[in-house]
Amino acid sequence: MLLAIDIGNTAISLGVLKKGMVTRRYAAPTAGTQRERHLHLQRLFQKIRHQYPSLESVIICSVVPEVLKIVEPMVRRQLCVKPLVVGRDIEVPIQNNYKNPRQVGHDRLVGAYAAKCLYGCPCLVIDFGTAITFDVVSRKGAYEGGIILPGLRLSTEALFQKTALLPRIEEIKIPRALIGRETQESILSGIFNGYGAMCRGLIDLIAAEIHSRPQVIVTGGYTQLMKKFIAKKIDHMDSDLVLKGMLLLQTSCIKKKS
């Protein structure tokens, strides 16, 4: 049994994994004051400790260093477990062909490794999160790099902050029509139809670049909303891809030790 903790820019996702499956999920916002974050996490860890008193393994993957500094000692105190941190205590066993390998977010590497193991190569992981990332794994199983774009929420916030008259979009939701009849609908149509067309085009460009049709795996918080706009290009939807990747890392470590 493993508790996997994925610290992202918007949310902290936690999953209890057993026999290759996520059996229970938890979440906490990354944003907020330090006190708010601490109280929220404290309640979560108390619940987890009560539900899983025999929990012995925790792996953390983080792209927010200041939040990792809060979460790691809380795991030690609340769960009485010494967690393994991806990139420090445990390396992702995938060849990294980035010019500067340290520039790649650990979550991207873990997702690429999970996609490689679970769905085969070549593959392309699209993560619809705070940012939208495309990560390419070659036919030989190496991480080749990718593409980074501002996510849906970031794009709507940029329009609101950098224009005088465009409104803030309070709820990211699928537009009713392609041609908007009001400003909010026009923005939502631009975001969803625009990103959908762009993603479809980028998938084709990447396939031509690597001279192969990759398995396309989509993950991230906005996956369900974007599904309609790239459905014909998707091979697999896996909202737990990074969490499953951490379980695969644990399995890899156990095999090495044995």
8, 64 contact by CB (below 8 A): yes
Site of tokens 């085009």: 201
Per annotation, catalytic residue among 107, 127, 238, 240 = 107
Torsion angle, alpha carbons of 83, 74, 242, 87, to 10: -50
Q: Which residue in 5, 1, 2 sits closest to 74, CA to CA? A: 5
Q: Which DSSP string do the residues of 179-215 spell out, in sequence order?
A: S-SSHHHHHHHHHHHHHHHHHHHHHHHHHHHHTS-PE
* Maximum C-alpha span of the chain: 63
111, 127 contact by CB (below 8 A): yes
Instruction: Tell me whether residue 107 is one of the annotated catalytic residues.
Output: yes
Q: In what order do the strands lie in the sheet with 215-219?
A: 143-150, 131-137, 123-128, 215-219, 236-237
What whole-number distance in Å separates Cα of residue 215 and Cα of residue 233?
9
Structural tokens at position 201? 């085009």
Q: How many CA atoms lie within 13 A of 29 on its CB side?
A: 8
Catalytic residue IDs: 107
